[in-house]
Amino acid sequence: MSVLDRKLRRDMMSSWVLLLAITSIITVGVAEYVAFGSAYANLTEAKRRYYAQCRMADFSIDLKKVPTAELAPVAELPGVAAVRSRIRFNATVALEGVPRPLNGMVLSLPDRREPVIDDIVLRSGGYFTDRRQNEVIVNDRFARTHNLQPGDWIHLVLNNRRQELFVVGTAVSSEFVYLLGPGAIIPDPEHYGVFYIKQTYAEDVFDFDGAANQLLGLLAPELRERPGGVLQRAERMLSPYGVFITTPLVDQASNKYLSQEIDGLRMFAVFMPTIFLTVAALVLNVLLSRLAEQQRTVVGTLKAIGYSDPQVFFHFLKFALAIGILGGLLGCVLGYYLAALMNIAYRGTFEFPELNNHFYLGLHSTGMLISVLCAVLGSIHGTRAVLKLRPAEAMRPKPPRQGGAVLLEHVGWFWTRLSSGWRMVLRSIVRSRMRTAAGVFAAAMGAAVLVAGFMMIEATVYLIDFQFRWIQRSDIELTLKDERGIDALAEAARLPGVDRAEPTLNVACTFINGLHRKKGGITGLTHDARLTVPHDRAARPIRIPSAGLVMSRKLAEILHLKRGDTVLVQTIKGLRRTYRVPVVEIADGYLGTAVYADINYLSRLIGEELAVSGVQLATDRKAKHTAALWRELKRLPALEAVNSRADMIESINETLIKHMNIFIGMIVIFAGVIFFGSILNASLVSLAERTRELATLRVLGYGPWQIGSLMLRESLIVTLIGTVLGMPIGYMLTVGMARMYDSEMFRFPVVSSPGTYIWTIMLAVAFALVAHLVVQRTIHRMDWLEALQAKE
Amino acid sequence: MIETIVNADHVLLRLEHVDKVFQMGQLAVKALSDVSLTIRQGEFLVMTGPSGSGKSTILNIVGGLDSVTAGEVWFRQRRMTAFTSSELTRYRRDTVGFIFQFYNLVPNLSAEENVMVSTELSSDPMDVVEALQLVGLDERRHHFPSQLSGGEQQRVAIARALAKNPALLLCDEPTGALDFSTGKRVLRMLVDLNRQLGKTIVLITHNSAIAPIADRVVRLRSGQVVEIHDNPEPVPPEEITW
């Protein structure tokens, strides 16, 4: 090791606190890059492999009922590579030892194993056998949650009949990487499962001999990106059989959530490290400028002895390189383990046959490179200034900085009221422009990260509140297998513990406004409905009009409709007629694209007296009654689905809130690193620059705490200015994220309560105080006499 | 051309009509004005003058640390004023040893390491311990500057300057920060280097009492040379007093 390297090592060791502060910012930046990048690559690769393995469908068309023989022309459409039809129904599931009926989706698979579109990957047991017709393969996570194993028997209500099925295996499939039950916002394997049964058995129990109600297809590669045309043609061909909805892969629920997550990771992998590494570069710039300034004489001497400019430059650059390499290495290691943790979390959210955290050499190398580059760029400015000096000049003390009055001093009434301490603080802030700018920027970024993080949490809480407390207020929602008359409501009202029962009617239809069309559905509610209450933008409840529609804002946007416009509604079931209907109100919501109408009005539209397809119940919530109610519901065969709001909220709380807490912790730690690192750096640099000035104050009788208070005031002002500037940035970030995640299925509310801003300020101040503790310790330990004697 | 009249054997450095102006913010300060001077191979030259007379400026220019505003500087037959930055670096590295008033040791390197700072650069360095022995500090070679007295620090600086075997030693007030007897010891060391090892030494000082030890004395005032006189019989440092 050369002597200069030894000097470097000692320089670094003597300022290890500062190095730690900067290195930690770089480390976090690189770790985020590596973690998000790895998670992105892990998920992308797992998705690609899994989709190929299962021959993931490029589109699906849900129909009322179609003879399989009629599907041949669709398969022959140019651009369609292959098709498969299957039978798909919702069902309720009765399990031993589970008090309430559970929900599930039943899908048919060929009796004999053959590669099919939307295939399954077996996880335990085997495929169907010839031994019995009533065999079932259960989706793996549901099976594991309920401890179901091959060889167990379960009960499904299929086509109004309770059927006993023999579990032969458990499986996963690429179409349910993210399995959502109807109306759910997160996977809930405790209450929702997928059940695969034999094709022939499904045809038998659902009276679908030679027929199907869902078509799956693969497209030619060149059409995958824009399947619109071919799907329209397919839909037209199949329209006699009642097309409910055509779903290209991009709109497939599971794929959409997974893809959004992957896109989000890619964005975060660029965005977050940029924030951190920019802050690190600025902070490093301040530190290196100071270091080079402090070692002015050494620089001059080295040059006088005969060291060349590049040698001296590289010597200082090594300081930055060391930080860059150290930060990069630590970041790579931390990032790898963060990615492993994220991977564990993703295994809990997404269901893949295999999801592993890999080591990506390219990603880690890029991380290292970015880190080193950031350090070098951050240090070049500060280092170069000294290099430009001729050696003789470098050895002379730096001419005193331009004194002069700062702008604030011209505000006479203000300035004259300030104590000398405050004047020193303000002058120092104004004169060290670069340092102040770096501090303000760092604090702004830290605050933006905090505000955006807190707003994400607020959005989640608000969304859950809005959806499950304001709009959906029933305790239990029953979906009937078939439309029934008013008697179904009376029956439901008689169930144990039911205080109130309200009917609902779901009608699948196509909305048409000129060139804009959209398949969807209308939910009929009674005009005085209290268990589903749509709300407007100002969170005011909307009363269901006796005629016309209450349409969700998202759908109105898609169809280019506004309040007072009319829309064509074409029903898919029943008489399949087209009506022109007014849009009376626009409702707000964050899930789906609901449309509401008066149930009587809607019944008349489909040509019936009063049809009921679901019942919402408010119960007295007494445990005894609830148990009896569940028992009754478990026995009722006419139910397609049973949803409990309490269970839904509980499962959301369990998973989402748990993740949220981890998320808050991470955000606060990350923001803390920024705040702490930059404040510490700014204060220590300021301290070093002003040693003589402060030593003089000591001699004049200032105590260490008074000196500390000067430093603290300075960093608090800079931190608070930055924090206040960062808040709107955080808000804008959230708006940007909300835009990014805006889809028909899911939207992200942008809400920010005073709490978000108060917490951000409190945390910023707390970080500043913690950083100041280190500064105060340095002040206490400083040798003031030596500082006074040292020559400039 | 000037080269033709230079006696390369005897003249190491020559300044011709040198001006130096410092720009201090909006203020231009003329540090040297029409200075012409030769430095001979192997001589012990002392430059004296009050502070601000331009001594340090000349030393820095001669040492390749600073540039001139006008005029020419010659090192042997080479025109230093035309040196590129890397040629200047090479010149400082191979030819010049600096000794500063405030020693300019690197604070977090030991005495030995401070000497190594210069030996690591040189193609033909002295042994580090030998250099420290020459200044009588081999025993204290592991001490850091903060653990050494002023005189000891200056001796380390001399060892550092010597260790790379330069032809020219430039001393900027080498005794300025030292007490009387330590100062004289340092001067003795410099005289010995000049007499025994044949090093050319240029020493600047505001202390004219030191002048009698030199072969030649240059007096400066307000950036101009006011007197040059030869001293055929230099006085040993032990005999001078201030």
Tell me the one-letter amino acid at B149.
Answer: S
| β partners of residue B55 | none
Q: Is the ipTM of this complex over 0.85?
A: no
What is the residue whose two structure tokens read 């559905």? A521
DSSP state of A545: P
Question: Distance between CA B235 and CA B208 in Å, rounded?
Answer: 13
B61, B22 in Cβ contact below 8 A? no
- Helix, coil or strand: residue B195: helix
A783 to A113, A576, A690, A788, B30: CA distances (angstroms)? 82, 91, 13, 9, 39
Residue with tokens 């409190």: A762
Output the CA torsion sign for A239, A244, A245, A246: negative
Which of B109, B219, B116, B95 lies closest to B159 in space, CA to CA?
B116
Residue B201, both tokens: 């030494």
- What tokens were used for A327? 């930060």
To 10 degrees, what angle do helices A16-54 and A309-349 make? 40
List residues bridging with A612 in a β-sheet: A484
Residue of B118 and A81 predicted with greater confidence: A81
For residues A766 and A465, give the distance between their C-alpha atoms in angstroms, rounded to a whole number. Answer: 31
A487 vs A194, higher pLDDT: A194
Crossing angle (nearest 10°) for helices B150-163 and B111-119: 20
Residues A438, A682 contacting (CB under 8 angstroms): yes
- Sign of the alpha-carbon torsion through A30, A323, A364, A270: positive
Distance of CA A73 to the CA centre of its chain: 42
Tokens coding B219 = 């007096």
Exposure letters A144-166 (e unless 16+ CB within 10 A, then b) = eebebebebebbbbbbeeebebb
Q: Is B25 on the interface with A (CB under 8 A)?
A: yes
Which one-letter DSSP state was computed for residue A532?
B
Domain count, chain B: 1
HSE at residue A497, side-chain half, CA atoms within 13 A, is 18
Domain assignment of residue B103, given as a range: 41-64+83-239
SS3 A649: helix
Position with higher pLDDT, A333 vs A315: A333
Cβ atoms A370, A66 nearer than 8 A: no
Residue with the larger pLDDT of the pair A65 and B24: A65
Judged by a CB distance cut-off of 8 A, whether residue B121 touches chain A is yes
Question: Do the chains contact at A390 and B65, CB–CB below 8 Å?
Answer: yes
- Give A744's DSSP letter: S
Q: Cα–Cα distance between B210 and A238 in angstroms, integer? A: 112
Closest Cα in chain B, distance from residue A402 (Å): 9
pLDDT bracket for residue B4 (50, 70, 90): very low
As a whole number, the mean pLDDT across chain A is 89
Query: Do residues A282 and A377 lie in contact, with contact meaning Cβ atoms separated by under 8 Å?
Result: no
pLDDT number for residue B178: 82
Q: Enumerate residues 6+ apart whose C-beta is below 8 A from A303.
A: A309, A312, A391, A394, B65, B89, B92
Share of chain A above pLDDT 90, in %: 52
CATH number for position B112: 3.40.50.300
To the nearest whole Å, the CA of B10 is away from the closest chain A CA by 25
- Residue B84's Cβ-count burial label (10 Å; 0-12, 13-18, 19+) is exposed
Q: Is B103 on the interface with A (CB under 8 A)?
A: no
Residue among A534, A475, A538, A533 nearest A501 (CA): A475
Are residues A7 and B109, on separate chains, in Cβ contact within 8 Å?
A: yes
pLDDT digits (tens, 9 = 90+) for A39-90: 999 999 999 999 999 999 999 999 999 999 989 899 999 999 999 999 999 9
Q: CA-CA-CA-CA torsion for A763, A346, A145, A216, nearest 10 degrees?
A: 130
A696 pLDDT above the threshold of 50: yes
Q: Where are the alpha helices (DSSP H) in A15-139?
A: 16-54, 72-75
Q: Return d(Cα A343, Cα A333) in angstroms, integer.
A: 15
Distance CA B217, CA A416 (A): 58
pLDDT digits (tens, 9 = 90+) for B149-193: 888 998 899 899 888 888 999 998 888 878 888 888 889 989 998
Residue B55 contacts A where some CB pair is shorter than 8 Å: no
**CA separation for the pair A180, A172 (Å, rounded):** 14
- DSSP-based three-state secondary structure for A566: strand
Query: Bridge partners of A86?
Result: A214
CB-based contacts of A84, cutoff 8 Å, min separation 6:
A57, A116, A117, A118, A215, A216, A217
- Number of Cβ within 10 Å of residue A134's Cβ equals 16
Mean pLDDT, range B14-27, rounded to an integer: 89
**Which chain A positions have a beta carbon within 8 Å of B90's beta carbon?**
306
> Side by side, which strands form the sheet with B11-24?
B27-40, B11-24, B70-75, B78-79
DSSP string computed for A681-726: HHHHHHHHHTHHHHHHHHHHT--HHHHHHHHHHHHHHHHHHHHHHH
Amino acid identity of residue A703, one-letter, is: G
* Chain A residues inside the 8 Å CB shell of B86: 308
Asked whether residue B133 is assigned to any structural domain, the reply reads yes
Distance CA A390, CA A300 (A): 8
Q: Which residues of A touch B120 (CB under 8 A)?
A: 2-4
Rounded average pLDDT over A769-780: 92
Q: How confident is the model at residue A565 (pLDDT cuts 50, 70, 90)?
A: very high
Is A108:A86 a contact under the CB 8 Å cutoff?
A: yes
- The band of A204, judged by pLDDT with boundaries at 50, 70 and 90, is very high
Out of A109-123, A484-498, B87-101, give the one with best mean pLDDT.
A109-123
Dist CA A397 CA A351 (whole Å): 67
CB contact under 8 A, B65 and A304: yes
Amino acid making up residue A742: D
A-to-B residue pairs, Cβ atoms closer than 8 angstroms: 86
The C-alpha torsion from A405 through A406 and A412 to A418, rounded to 10°, is -100
Chain B residues near residue A6 by CB distance under 8 angstroms? 109, 113
Contacts for A262 with CB less than 8 Å, ≥ 6 apart: A40, A43, A44, A47
Q: Is the pLDDT of residue B3 over 50?
A: no
Instruction: Report CA torsion sign: A697, A698, A703, A705.
Output: positive
Query: Using 50, 70 and 90 to split pLDDT, how confident is the model at A405?
Result: low
Residues in a beta bridge with A585: A550
Q: Indicate yes or no: CB of A304 within 8 angstroms of CB of B118.
A: no
| pTM exceeding the 0.90 threshold for the entire prediction | no
Two tokens, residue A62: 């849900």
Indicate if the pLDDT at residue A574 is higher than 70: no
Q: Is A748 left (phi over 0), alpha (psi -120 to 50) or beta?
A: beta
- DSSP characters over A395-408: HSPPPPPP----GG
Mean pLDDT of B209-228: 93
Interchain pair B117, A300: CB under 8 A: no
Cβ(A642)–Cβ(A610) below 8 Å: no
Calculate mean pLDDT across residues A238-246: 88
Where are chain A's structural domains?
1-34+252-399, 88-204, 432-471+647-792, 476-620
B96 touches A at CB < 8 Å: yes
The DSSP call for residue B110 is -
In a domain, B114, yes or no: yes
Looking up tokens 């839904």 gives A648
At residue A90, the 3 state secondary structure works out as strand
Provide, as residue numbers in chain B, all residues whose Cβ is less than 8 Å from the Cβ of A304. Answer: 63, 65, 92, 96, 98, 104
pLDDT digits (tens, 9 = 90+) for A502-525: 999 999 888 999 999 888 899 999
Q: Could you tell me if A307 lies within 8 Å of chain B, comparing CB atoms? A: yes
